[in-house]
Structure 1
Amino acid sequence: MTPKIAILGAGPSGLAQLRAFEAARKAGLEQIPDIVCYEKQPDWGGMWNYTWRTGLDEHGEPVHGSMYRYLWSNGPKECLEFADYSFEEHFGRPIPSYPPRAVLLDYIMGRVEKSDVRKYIRFNTAVRWVEWSDETQKFTVTVMNHDRGALESDEFDYVVVATGHFSTPHVPHFDGLDRFPGRVLHAHDFRDAREFAGKRLLLVGSSYSAEDIGTQCIKYGAEQVTFSYRSAPMGHDWPEQFSEVPLLTHVDGKVAHFRDGSTREVDAIVLCTGYKHHYPFLPDELALRTNNRLYPRDIYKGIFFQRNPKLMYLGAQDQYFTFNMFDAQAWYARDFMLGRVDLPDFDTREQDIDHWRAREEKLSSSVEDIDFQAAYIRDLVDRTDYPEFHVERQGEVFKQWKQDKKRDIMGYRNNSYASTLTGTVAPPLPAPWMEIVDDSPESFLRHDFTAPEVTAEGRFTAPEVTSEGRFTAPEVTSEGRTLDRQHTPAARRPARPAASRTVSVKA
């Protein structure tokens, strides 16, 4: 009997699951399972879709997205590249290592648009409840179909939870915050850095969202940014507009007080305090309970819910690798649902979870974290027919990215790296990232991003700077990245068509 599968969410991880089944079909699978993918947004893309809305969407559902205007990738695209679909294939040419959000979304969509998977997705449909029956050995999934204005239920043999874990804010309490006279918001609701031009900002938190929102706000005119950390400062060589102080204790009017006794007068406060794993549609016996970590407890191979492996989670862990990790998980989950992979018994699965957790507990640096997640992905892909890709080499790019951020937090996006798929070294941005204020794909892609060749000595063969504004040839390291780029304004000439595709802005 053909299995019936529910996929909850059509973001990158849910799309990876659909793509995995499509790959099996193209490889000769005669009968695809009966698949339904529920997506509460009106389009696919998940977190990568931008919306101006905060709080509730047009249907009264909690807004999923945390994207904001002027957001650029904060990691090299070379670490996000699909094993079966390069950036060069999509755009028809090389592009810089750090593209803006809409360009990355276009790349994500490009792969699934080549597959006939949209037919499986029911948009504007929010999952209300998932229930397991020991008697029938099936799940009942109840959803709200907003297009019809009706609750609907159906039975499934398997459920794949691909809803992500960066949409439900963790909001701690700080005395006096309710009486603060300025703007207070969580990073989930941050939408436009220009709102804070000329203001003094306090960002509570010391992870990626604080780092990126802080730099964005200074880029678009904020007067000052103060980071308040709980355990340790980020430790970057920040420009003079930035400062780092211990944890906020309370607020008195516009004056913020910190654990070390220091104070700052601020105009706005952004809580960059993280997110919760939140699955309100799952009963307690099926819901994953974890903080954001590299290997959550209770999911075998980081996928299968230990107490009921027919319930699977994709992308539920902290992430360095993203798209390829989602793929690796989706291919493995697919093979289980197709009967190609048999899972061991409960005790053996528990031992495997304990093994990976013990390894995780010993990690003491970001370098070790990256190697750990690369090994986890390797463990998955070696068991399936997922296309071979150089996950360990991508890990080395991540390590270089970490060093580049330490060296120049405001300019690390000006670096270039080599694709682990094609070997092409990315061309530079048309100007230093801090000087580029237009993040639209039309503006970005109109530049002639032609990657220069690299000689045996490791240098670009690009010509020197000309009166038309070409870049000087940067030096290329053995790791395949560029150093010490000297920028001049790029020539304003039309780009070649992006692989005969029309880039659309989803905003």
Structure 2
Amino acid sequence: MVSVKRVAIIGAGVSGLVSIKSCLEEEFQPICFEKSSQIGGVWIYSDDDTRGKASAMYNGLVTNSSKEMMCFSDFAYPPEYPPYLYTHHVIKYYRDYAKHYDIEKYIKFNTEVIDVSPTDDNQTTGQWNVTIRQRNQEQFIEQTDVFDAVMVCTGKHSNCIMPEYPGMDKFKGQIIHSNTFRRGEDFVGQNILVVGASHSAGDVATQCSHYAKSTYISLRNGCYVLARRGPNGQPMDSVANRRFSSKIPGFIRSKMLTSLVESRVDHDSLGLRSDRHVFSASVMVNDSLPDRILNGTLKVKAHIEKFTKNGVMFVDRTYIEDIDTVIFATGYGITFPFISREIVDERKLELFKHILSPKYTTLAFIGSVGAIGAQAPVYELQARWAASVFSGTVKLPDLKACQMDAKKRVDGMIKRYGYLKIKFAPVPYQEELANDIGVIPTLDMFLTDPKLAVKVFFGPAYPPSYRLQGPHAWAGARDAIMKGWENTISSTKTRHISKEHGVTGHILFTAIFLFFLILVILF
């Protein structure tokens, strides 16, 4: 068993912040290296050109997850914040979190990690050589230090993916990636084609459609479009991500979610229909896209076949000419330029529990996964789990079992999506990690605190439920859960209503939901 004291943390974005705090909880000595001058990672908005680099915020971005679902487990969003957040809300929250837990003093800014390699005695000590390049005025200083463990927190948005199609080199218009997009008004009077089927593609297309002469969106396999508002006005993610519903067989949940989504958007008439079932298809959270299609300012096109000098031909043999700009909202790839592929190959990303290198058990990757829901709580549990492994609280199986687990998880993702895409429903994964570290909510709560138990097991899977008991519990967790709905709507109830309908509405929704579930099971 190796002894861990000093931990190198690479990146001060969301996963880096929770990694620092998790290390402090285990009484480690974390040192975080951040190549920029501030915390926040991809949530920092800048007008600077990030062409070809990591993900970047665009003007007007609104979160796809509601604030009560995307908060950290022991630090609530302010009640006055709206249910869905703009970028400035989110970055302020992360700065407040860092200040509250005195995290920033453990971060070295303007410091880039350029190499991470095992020490000669790594197999017995678990230690790592970490080489950094620090900017000091006009000079760069490189130095190497030894750490007992490393947590890589550079995320999954570090490298733009740009597809290639025949004729692109002859196309006379502009071709860009969505990481350079900032605002729709930059494309006034242009003919725009957006390529992609996820959240950013929908945002870019709808923003451009307000200003461009014409706007099109090209979908390879179609997609499912989800509104932020779910049944009874509740945030959709708080309806979808609940403990009891995660226990329902997958084929039933798929039918239920598909039925719910299609009750709000006619995917056939709008040309959005996916050829895959909802759990393996592209999902786009967007409230405006169906309306923009219905009023004719946005048109849906098939997959691209080829570019011409002035336009694009699609696989259904339709053609658009005089295109001024093509915006590829085609996502990002993971890259770890400071680590040899012999240690971890980002093209496979075979990690035990999607976190730990099977061979090098003091090397953890936090935030290299995607969740169909809020990301931050997933990263937080990953960080807590990794810190518990380093401390010896969580025991690991042997090397072969770790390798089999890592391969099985990746193979499962490839089978689901047809290519390597690490993305899954958050609740089952969070429960798995929480169970390992001893913080999972238990059924005996129905005897000791039945009101809370109903909220925890049948209501939204709010992150504070992982601070109710076990290591590093939070005294405010119960209150945060019980007031979850109240805090969600606190900022929107700006007009007094004499008669409260909320309780009746929730009961009605639950009854309808259970009735619908029975129908699906029977028929």
Which TM-score applies when normalising by structure 2? 0.69
Aligned counterparts, 1:44-443, within 5 A: 44-55=39-50, 63-87=53-77, 91=78, 93-136=79-122, 137=125, 138-147=127-136, 149-219=140-210, 221-234=211-224, 235=267, 236=272, 237=290, 238-239=293-294, 240-265=296-321, 266-290=323-347, 298-320=350-372, 321-353=374-406, 356=409, 372-384=425-437, 390=456, 393-394=459-460, 422-425=483-486, 426-427=488-489
Cα-Cα RMSD: 3.5
Q: Cα–Cα, structure 1 residues 33 and 78, in superposed 2: closer, same or farther, change >3 Å?
A: closer
Aligned residue identity for 2:16:
G
**How far, CA to CA, are the matches of 2:215 and 2:352 in structure 1?**
42
Aligned residue identity for 1:427:
I
Q: Is the 8 A contact 2:370 2:424 kept in 1?
A: no
Q: Cα–Cα, structure 1 residues 99 and 477, in superposed 2: closer, same or farther, change >3 Å?
A: farther
- How far apart are 1:229 and its partner, in Å? 2.0
Q: Cα–Cα, structure 1 residues 270 and 13, in superposed 2: closer, same or farther, change >3 Å?
A: same
Aligned residue identity for 1:101:
T
Q: Residue 41 in 1 paired to residue 41 in 2?
A: no
1:8 alignment counterpart: 10
Can you list the C-alpha shifts for 1:430-461, whole angstroms capped at 9, x where unaligned? Answer: 7xxxxxxxxxxxxxxxx95999994465359x
Which runs of 5 or more structure 2 residues have no equivalent in the other structure? 225-266, 273-289, 442-454, 464-479, 514-523
Q: Cα–Cα, structure 1 residues 263 and 193, in superposed 2: closer, same or farther, change >3 Å?
A: same
Higher relative contact order, structure no. (Cα contacts within 8 Å, ≥ 6 residues apart): 2
Q: Cα–Cα, structure 1 residues 180 and 355, in superposed 2: closer, same or farther, change >3 Å?
A: closer
Give the secondary-structure state (helix, strand or coil) at the position aligned to 1:83: coil
Q: Is the 8 A contact 2:33 2:109 kept in 1?
A: yes
- How far apart are 1:330 and its partner, in Å? 0.5
Aligned residue identity for 1:424:
W
2:504 alignment counterpart: 458
More helix by share: 2
- Identity value in percent: 24
Q: Is the 8 A contact 1:301 1:353 kept in 2?
A: yes
Give the secondary-structure state (helix, strand or coil) at the position aligned to 1:232: coil
Which TM-score applies when normalising by structure 1? 0.71
Give the secondary-structure state (helix, strand or coil) at the position aligned to 1:209: helix
**How far, CA to CA, are the matches of 1:452 and 1:41 in structure 2?**
51
2:235 alignment counterpart: none
Aligned residue identity for 2:15:
S
**How far, CA to CA, are the matches of 1:85 and 1:480 in structure 2?**
33
**How far, CA to CA, are the matches of 2:462 and 2:214 in structure 1?**
34
Give the secondary-structure state (helix, strand or coil) at the position aligned to 2:62: coil
Give the secondary-structure state (helix, strand or coil) at the position aligned to 1:312: strand
- How far apart are 1:377 and its partner, in Å? 0.8
Aligned residue identity for 1:263:
Y
Q: Is the 8 A contact 2:128 2:148 kept in 1?
A: yes
Q: Is the 8 A contact 2:162 2:328 kept in 1?
A: yes
Q: Is the 8 A contact 2:50 2:179 kept in 1?
A: no
- How far apart are 1:386 and its partner, in Å? 5.1
Which runs of 5 or more structure 1 residues have no equivalent in the other structure? 25-31, 57-61, 292-296, 398-418, 431-446, 461-474, 482-507
Q: Cα–Cα, structure 1 residues 63 and 429, in superposed 2: closer, same or farther, change >3 Å?
A: farther
**How far, CA to CA, are the matches of 1:9 and 1:392 in structure 2?**
36
Q: Is the 8 A contact 1:377 1:391 kept in 2?
A: no
- How far apart are 1:163 and its partner, in Å? 0.1
- How far apart are 1:169 and its partner, in Å? 0.5
**How far, CA to CA, are the matches of 1:314 and 1:429 in structure 2?**
32
Give the secondary-structure state (helix, strand or coil) at the position aligned to 1:377: helix
Give the secondary-structure state (helix, strand or coil) at the position aligned to 2:159: coil
Q: Cα–Cα, structure 1 residues 316 and 479, in superposed 2: closer, same or farther, change >3 Å?
A: farther
Q: Is the 8 A contact 1:10 1:39 kept in 2?
A: yes
